[in-house]
Structure 1
């Protein structure tokens, strides 16, 4: 299933991804640091969603206390719990 998430407090404006059988696929960020976010997307491809959440949750890069990686973890949690 395809999910879309509007991150808060970060440079990216949208995160889309799929979760199939608990595995993360096709992560795409709109906006933000293109190189870093492309690398994150490629590195996470095929990993279990719970593993991605545990690795990314709580990473910060802005005074807001968030990062695009942290917001992806929030998006995955929301998708899993919905």
Structure 2
């Protein structure tokens, strides 16, 4: 199992912690942000393939912002998968 930390940009959350087993998400936790929504994202993505989450969350915006917590999660997962190789 591998653990990754990603510093977010442009969102209320400041950091995402990710635990992967290969490309399978074991756990995700956010620091800051909208607690209930981010707990929901963490719960929904547990057990999913990171590539599927990237495909679903990439490019999602929050209001007038050019990113969102789901979009930042997709970026974090891309970075985590790249770090494995």
TM bin (shorter chain): over 0.9
SS of the residue corresponding to residue 71 of structure 2 reads helix
SS of the residue corresponding to residue 28 of structure 2 reads strand
Larger deviation, residues 37-46 vs 58-67: 58-67
Counting only pairs closer than 5 Å after superposition, residues 25-64 of structure 1 correspond to structure 2 as 25-64=26-65
| 8 Å Cα contact 1:5/1:15 also seen in 2 | yes
Larger deviation, residues 66-75 vs 17-26: 17-26
CA positional deviation for 1:6: 0.4
Write the distance in 2 (CA, Å) between the matches of 1:44 and 1:52: 7
List 4+ stretches of structure 1 deviating above 2 A: none
Q: CA RMSD in A?
A: 0.9
User: Counterpart of 2:8?
Assistant: 7
SS of the residue corresponding to residue 29 of structure 1 reads strand
User: Counterpart of 1:20?
Assistant: 21
Write the distance in 1 (CA, Å) between the matches of 2:69 and 2:41: 10
Write the distance in 1 (CA, Å) between the matches of 2:37 and 2:21: 24
- Count of matched residue pairs: 82
Q: Any unmatched runs of 5+ in structure 2?
A: none
Q: Any unmatched runs of 5+ in structure 1?
A: none
* TM-score normalised over the length of structure 2: 0.92
